[in-house]
Copies of this chain bind each other. A is one copy, B any other.
Amino acid sequence: MNVGTEWLVDAEGCSADRLCDLDAVRSLCEEVITALDLRVVGDALWHRFPEPGGVTGLYLLSESHLACHTFPETGIATFNLYCCRPRPPFAWDERLRSALDATRVTIRTAIRGSEAETDYALFETHLRELDATSEVSSR
């Protein structure tokens, strides 16, 4: 039994300043929520850690959850979006490039539930090189 799809999104090359800007990262998460018509239950949890000042946000959704962590020391932001009802894809690479200055975005999907053990084929990595000087690859 499939109990949802999870997107694991990893963005590299991001602006450290953007990754420390809790309001900017929160705004991006709320854009995801609005774009996919997700329903937030209660108040989101947000925290800004001490220097180098990464942030974490967690949203409890009717559809499951959205989580975000930023690592300004490495220019990386990671997102988990777990939806137990079908949702269209979000334009992660376009929006993370624009909002966080990401140069590369990796999107993996995982089926949750009893199909997990056969999920090798379904666990696809979609890699887009956003740096035009690098080779564009996808798989």
What is A's interface to B at a CB cutoff of 8 Å?
1, 3-4, 6, 8, 10, 12, 41-42, 45, 47, 49, 56, 58, 60, 62, 64-65, 67, 69, 71, 74, 76, 78, 80, 82, 84, 104, 106, 108, 110, 112-114, 116-117, 119-120, 123, 125, 127, 137
Contacts and interface: CB of A to CB of B under 8 A. Distances in A.
A60 B47 contact: yes
Stoichiometry (number of copies): 2
Interface majority SS (helix, strand, loop, mixed), chain A:
strand
B1 A110 contact: no
Contacts of A78: 3-4, 82, 112-113
Contacts of A104: 114, 117
Given A1-B12, A4-B69, A12-B113, 7 more contacts: A12-B114, A41-B47, A49-B62, A58-B58, A58-B65, A64-B67, A117-B125
